[in-house]
Amino acid sequence: MPRRTTRVDKPGEFEGRPQLTREGYARLQERVTDIRERRLPEMRPLLVETERDERVVAEFERLILEAEVTDALLANAEVIAIDPVSVDGRVELGMRVEVVLQDGSTAWVRPVHPDEAFLDEERVSATSPLAIAILDARAGHTVWVDAPTGAWPCTVLSVDLEGVSTEA
């Protein structure tokens, strides 16, 4: 009898497709454009010098690969669009969430696909301990963040749909 397998989505994916915020999608597109239209052309003259620096060659190749990988991500991605009427108060991917951190300070965070997390200080990878803990929580809930340095309580203060709502 054949074995039945079930797809298990990685954090930040749904049915195997990366889920990106509108802003994240646009900023990743801008990054690819910047690589192709500015950074690579600036580096090309350095590649033909007789005493070229091999670090320039390595960076050129890294940028080409980054652009190709990001293009593939964008081609397969879905932009997160949440209908505010369907929201039941739980934290979902892409939502802004105000939380109380381990040191007692408050911060706004936004759990996002790992490839979008580096775009600003607010975004946190959906694979991070903080994002794993707050996804599906509601405002007022205290969840435990299972961090490498030890578990700590994190309180969700509020949830905001900015950037993922279907309403403009």
Last residue of a domain, one of 79, 98, 125: 79
> Are 73 and 104 part of one and the same domain?
no
Residue 8: pLDDT band with limits 50, 70, 90: confident
> Are 109 and 137 part of one and the same domain?
yes
- Total number of domains in the chain: 2
User: Where is pLDDT greater, at 134 or 14?
Assistant: 134
- 128 three-class SS: coil
Residue 165: pLDDT band with limits 50, 70, 90: low
> Are 132 and 96 part of one and the same domain?
yes
User: Where is pLDDT greater, at 164 or 15?
Assistant: 15
Distances (CA, A) of 162 to 14, 22, 45, 166: 20, 10, 43, 10
pLDDT (0 to 100) of residue 123: 96
Q: Are strands 123-125 and 106-112 parallel, antiparallel or unpaired?
A: parallel
For the chain, give me the number of helices (H) and strands (E)?
A: 4, 8
pLDDT (0 to 100) of residue 52: 86
What is the average pLDDT across 125-136? 96
Percent of residues, the chain, with pLDDT higher than 90: 76
- CA–CA dist 138, 158 (Å, integer): 8
> Are 112 and 131 part of one and the same domain?
yes
* Longest CA–CA separation in the chain, Å: 64
Domain assignment of residue 60, given as a range: 22-79
52-70 tens-digit pLDDT: 899 999 999 999 999 999 9
Is residue 134's pLDDT more than 80? yes
> Are 152 and 124 part of one and the same domain?
yes
pLDDT (0 to 100) of residue 1: 45
Beta partners for residue 76, in sequence order: none
Is residue 112's pLDDT more than 80? yes
* pTM for this model (two decimals): 0.85
For 81, residues 6+ apart whose C-beta sits below 8 A from its C-beta are 22, 164, 165, 166
For 60, residues 6+ apart whose C-beta sits below 8 A from its C-beta are 40, 43, 44, 47
Residue 167: pLDDT band with limits 50, 70, 90: low
